[in-house]
Amino acid sequence: MTTQPLPVRTRLFAMLLKAVAEEQTDAAQLLALRRKRQRLLSTRLGRAIVGTDAPGVRVRELTIGGDSETRLRVHSPEFAGGSLPIVVNYHGGGWCIGSPEQSRWLASRVAGQVGAVVVSPTYRLGPEHPYPAATEDAWAALQWVHEHAADLGGDRGRIAVMGDSAGGNLAAVTALMARDTGTPDLSAQVLIYPVVEVHERWPSEDANALAPLLTSSLMRTFTRTYLADAADTQDWQASPIRATSHTGLPPTLILTAGHDPLRDHGTRYAETLRAAGVAAELCDFPDAIHGFTALPGAAPAAETALDEIVAFLRRSI
């Protein structure tokens, strides 16, 4: 795959980031970044970059229990009738920053255009809650959604998982867990520039080591902070590409970005799934940066990616 020059909007966004943001190299700096990003989402500039909820989509919040308190941001088409398919969407942020609000542009439009209930859960973040806390919360949220599908206006027999970056990792892991337990029987998974391997360094990481938004150094800071005492783990629940088998997984759409250290993660996982007999579609955006589906104001490719995701989910769930 080849890359293409970044659009003007994306280049301007990258220049702004470079001017105002320092590279995060430890847990304390990640915590500061988390606070800054949360504040930014509530500003006019933040809304211009990450987008807002789609018109015609109702948003409500629920809180569920378990080992930790999880907040669910639930997006539903306002005028849809009957029992709708459900998409459980995990936000990105290196398992250390981020929230469902940063995915609101994509999640709400998937809800409105697919005619689905899109549930975006929180999960515990590092460094306060290292691996496997995020995985445990992601799995608990999926189980809760399956058990309470009718209360959400959804069909428990038509559930998909979706996630971007670290959220793509959690979506891939929960899909494997669902296959192994048989509950729920997932209809599809959408993995958006996912992390599928926490140790190996692949060529796209070197080629895009200084890319906008996510550098190789920041990647490694996220992973080191998330894994903490489990830094040497070989567990597939950290690196889903290491699962013993990938057979029996649901139809999969994987999106990658040309200017992204994680690009090879998506391509290699697509190859792994296809070798296991899984219907896996790979859609690359050669002029996009990591995180682009959560940056519609800075990345024109976000609109095209939305179209691909909507079309895939319409025919899969």
> For residue 231, with 0-12 CB atoms within 10 Å meaning exposed, 13-18 middle and 19 or more buried, which class applies?
middle
Contact 93, 115 (CB under 8 A): no
- 165 as an active site residue: the answer is yes
Told to judge if 235 belongs to the known catalytic residues of this protein, a careful annotator would answer: no
List the catalytic residue out of 91, 99, 290, 316: 290
Report the phi/psi class of residue 236: left, alpha or beta, with left for phi > 0 and alpha for psi in -120 to 50: alpha
Cβ atoms of residues 87 and 110 within 8 Å: yes
If DSSP states are collapsed to H, E and C, what string results for 118-186? EEEECCCCCCCCCCCHHHHHHHHHHHHHHHCCHHHCEEEEEEEEEEECHHHHHHHHHHHHHHHHCCCCC
In DSSP terms, which residues pair with 159 in a beta bridge?
A: 86
Cross-strand partners of 189: 161, 252
Q: Are the C-beta atoms of residues 71 and 100 closer than 8 Å to each other?
A: yes
- CA dihedral sign, ordered 180, 278, 223, 107: negative
> Can you tell me the distance from the alpha carbon of 75 to that of 287, in angstroms, rounded to the nearest whole number?
29
Radius of gyration of the chain (CA): 18
To the query of whether residue 199 is one of the catalytic residues in this protein, the response is no
Catalytic residue among 53, 137, 155, 260: 260
* Integer Cα distance of 226 and 211 in angstroms: 21
Return all residues near 8 (Cβ < 8 A) that are at least 6 apart.
Answer: none
Which of 165, 187, 204, 316 is catalytic? The answer is 165
Residue type, 8: V
Catalytic residues: 165, 260, 290
